[in-house]
Chain A
Amino acid sequence: MDIERVAEKAAVPADDTEKMRRRRSGRAVAGVAGGVADHLEVKVLWVRLAFSLLAAAGGAGVLAYGLLWVFVPQAKPSVVAKETTRKERQQARGLLALGFGLAIGFGSLTGSVDGWVAGGIGVTLVGVALVWREADESTRRRARTGMTSLLLGEGGRGAIVRVLSGAALVVTGMTLFMVRGVDLDQLQFALLSVLAALIGVAVLTVPFWLRLVRDLGEERTARIRTEERAEIAAHLHDSVLQTLALIQKQADAPREVLRLARGQERQLRGWLYGPAGYGRPSRDGERGEAVKLAEALSQACGEVEDTFAIQVQQVVVGDCELDERLAGMVFAAREAVVNAAKHAGVSEVSVYAEVEPDQVMIFVRDRGKGFDPKAVPRDRHGLADSIRGRMERNGGELRLRTAPGEGTEVQLHMPRVTAGA
């Protein structure tokens, strides 16, 4: 028994073990007691006994059983079925009869309902059980055959007979109840019978409505999954496949191949790990907010990578929102990277940015030729105007470390206006 239970648990995926499921096989009525027993890890016999005894308490057991039947879904067909012995089945039937007898017996004994009413209700319940059971069966068949027929499933004539006799029992039970149980004038009787008919139909079609709701839910999940898959496929097609095709075409131009590969890598990386990327939990609210420094910097570096076919290794520590001055600073950093790409004669440039509470620093470093700052001709504007000028206009400063043969490091410092705010 224990081994079987372990095996059964292993067969169910981890997230399903918590949820209660009605048993599909080895059931007396609907597998509710079995499901409860599996969930609580007790013997089915005790659960059945409890339901039977509760049935005596004003039919509470019957009501509980009915509600569980409605709201607890059936186990998946893939779940390994447990063998039931004949003895168990006989016990189940015995307890079922006991519960029923107790419910009706106690009902009439205590005088809360007279025998006819109790009988009427009893017949109705049997009818309802018959129809619902048939609906359960049809779901199983549907799962097996993939057919979408609803209440009857693929049960053939037997199913129709069972459903119709169930309905007939319900009608009979209600009629009994109406005829003998209540004593009313004609108008009230007419109203009551209409009401009873409506209730009868509602009760009989419960499985149908339930299935409709569940199917809708399942369909929604399936649709979301399909859309997701389509989005990934579209993205991979637009980006990766296109780039691979281009790379094959340009196989004899290594520089171009390198450029394409780097551009694609960066794009895919951004898509996977970026702030709004695919790999992040969805944060719809945050999209379209102010641009962040890290994002702007990586975009700027990416542009230079693409244009000059170099690799820009960037590391950003901390992040903050990009205001006008920081935008100027990012642009200055971009110019510094461009300078390195053009003049240093290297294939890799390092960019490091750190956001501190009171200032932002960006370092652009290459291990290339380096130069003598004093020897730069006066008519060369790059460093002077576009980097130093831009930094100073925005209230920042630039430091330069370089010497011929020792590479170049451009250090940018910009105080933060929002410090402490």
Chain B
Amino acid sequence: MSSEKRPVRVFLVDDHGLFRAGVRAELESITDEVEVVGEAGTVGEAVAGIGHRKPDVVLLDVHMPDGGGAEVLRRARPENPETVFLALSVSDAAEDVIAVIRAGARGYVTKTISSHELVRAVVRVSEGDAVFSPRLAGFVLDAFADRPGAAPISDPELDLLTPRERDVLRLLARGYAYKEIASELFISVKTVETHVSSVLRKTQLSNRYELSRWASDRRLV
């Protein structure tokens, strides 16, 4: 990639000014790998700001007035296909997390994440990878679990995880880093990334009952 030297341009969206200031200070103080190019406190501001600034990565709060992160994704994503979105939230509710992922976010991390990990996550999504926090991995495993009496699978390609993907997700949920997962499963880090991206794609596109229910609860589908 040609952007070895250029910092990742980040746009912050969160309705808490205090939190935005905190993240900005943290990101800018610990590294020059990322640069905060703008911030917004409402859905409208975010859509306008993203269109104007064309950031590489948008750090997106899930819960905001007027529709939250999902609404920002719905309005800003079609016009900014180059921008990737990473959800950053305190919300622990599976339906919220799944909803932003299905609306197009490339990953989900909780606000308690350490600054260094946040920088790693930002850089990783900017390079096109998916970022699964252990919690998101858990939710996705749960959504794809084989439950007795579950709705029949209509599209095995999208509605089932491969055993390998399941292994990767389990290790993610156990708190393993990509490198550790790779050595645990005797595969390359690149392969781990491929599996995670494939799981993300399935999470976004699958019509599995659990996933579409969560999405429709948030009026997404």
Which residues of A come within 8 Å of B, CB atoms?
Answer: 269, 272-273, 279, 311, 313, 315-318, 350, 352, 354, 357, 363, 365, 409
Contacts and interface: CB of A to CB of B under 8 A. Distances in A.
B137 interface: yes
Given A317-B173, A350-B175, A273 B91 contact: yes
B112 A363 contact: no
A269 B138 contact: no
B61 to A, nearest CB: 16
Contacts of B138: 315-317, 352
Q: Counting chain A CB atoms within 10 Å of each CB, which of B90, B137, B142 scores highest?
A: B142
B19 to A, nearest CB: 14
Interface in B80-102: 90-93
A212 B112 CA distance: 53
B145 interface: yes
Given A350-B174, A363-B174, A365-B175, A315 B134 contact: yes
B141 interface: yes
A311 B135 CA distance: 14
Contacts of A269: 90, 92
B92 A352 contact: no
Which 7 pairs, one residue from A and one from B, show the smallest C-beta to C-beta distance? A350-B175, A315-B138, A352-B174, A315-B173, A317-B141, A273-B93, A273-B92
Nearest to B175: A350
A315 B148 CA distance: 22
Given A273-B91, A316-B138, A352-B134, 14 more contacts: A269-B92, A279-B93, A313-B134, A313-B135, A315-B134, A315-B138, A317-B141, A317-B173, A318-B142, A350-B134, A354-B141, A354-B170, A365-B174, A365-B175
A317 B172 CA distance: 13
Interface of A is mostly: strand
Nearest to B138: A315
Q: Counting chain B CB atoms within 10 Å of each CB, which of A311, A313, A316 scores highest?
A: A313
A317 B134 CA distance: 11
B218 to A, nearest CB: 13
B16 to A, nearest CB: 15
Contact of B137 (A279, A315, A357, A363): A315
A363 B134 CA distance: 13
17 contacts: A269-B90, A311-B112, A313-B175, A316-B138, A317-B138, A317-B141, A317-B142, A318-B142, A350-B175, A352-B138, A352-B170, A352-B174, A354-B141, A363-B174, A365-B175, A365-B176, A409-B174
A268 to B, nearest CB: 10
A365 to B, nearest CB: 5
Contacts, number: 43
Given A352-B134, A365-B174, A317 B92 contact: no
Nearest to B140: A317
A413 to B, nearest CB: 14
Interface in B140-158: 141-142, 145, 148
A354 to B, nearest CB: 7
A272 B170 CA distance: 26
Contacts of A273: 91-93
A265 to B, nearest CB: 8
A269 B110 CA distance: 13
Contacts of B174: 315, 350, 352, 363, 365, 409
A352 B141 CA distance: 12
Nearest to A356: B145
Contacts of A317: 138, 141-142, 145, 173
Nearest to B176: A365
A272 B92 CA distance: 9
Nearest to A315: B138
A315 B135 contact: yes
Contact of A352 (B91, B112, B148, B175): B175
Contacts of A363: 174
A297 B142 CA distance: 17
Contacts of B90: 269
Contacts of B92: 269, 272-273
Q: Counting chain B CB atoms within 10 Å of each CB, which of A350, A352, A363, A365 scores highest?
A: A352
A318 B145 contact: yes
Contacts of B142: 317-318
A357 B173 CA distance: 19
Contacts of B170: 352, 354
A315 B97 CA distance: 14
A313 B135 CA distance: 8
B43 to A, nearest CB: 19
A310 to B, nearest CB: 13
A365 B93 CA distance: 24
Contacts of A318: 142, 145
Nearest to B177: A367
Interface string B18-34: 00000000000000000
A273 B93 CA distance: 6
Contacts of A352: 134, 138, 170, 173-175
A354 B170 CA distance: 9
A312 to B, nearest CB: 11
Nearest to A270: B92
Interface in B173-216: 173-176
